[in-house]
Amino acid sequence: MCLAVPGKIIEINDNSNPRMGKVSFSGIVRDVCLEWVPEAKIGDYVIVHVGFALSIIDEKEAKETLELFKQIEEIQNKENNNTL
């Protein structure tokens, strides 16, 4: 199963080849290839899979997805605590 995660572009380096940027995933910042989303700009949310931004998504959708991930993590933590 593959998982793509939404993140917010906080920096773009247009002078690199391929085009790269820094993307924040709820505060964790990673270098991401932006070559496949040439129209992306700082402040945009992108879906990232294995270090490549695949598409731009709107902020509302990105935040909803991140909230669902947070809920899943909370459920997993509760289940783990109940098995100890």
Tokens encoding 5: 């995660």
Percent of the chain with pLDDT over 70: 96
Highest averaged pLDDT of the listed ranges 2-6, 8-12, 26-30: 8-12
pLDDT of residue 81: 84
Q: Which residues contact 58 (CB under 8 A, 6 or more apart)?
A: 45
Q: Where are the domains of the chain?
A: 5-82
Tens of pLDDT, residues 52-68: 999 999 999 999 988 99
In this predicted structure, the answer to whether residue 20 has a pLDDT above a threshold of 60 is yes
Residue 26's φ and ψ, nearest 5 degrees, are 55, 40
Fold of 5-82: SH3 type barrels. (2.30.30)
8 close to 48: Cβ distance less than 8 angstroms = no
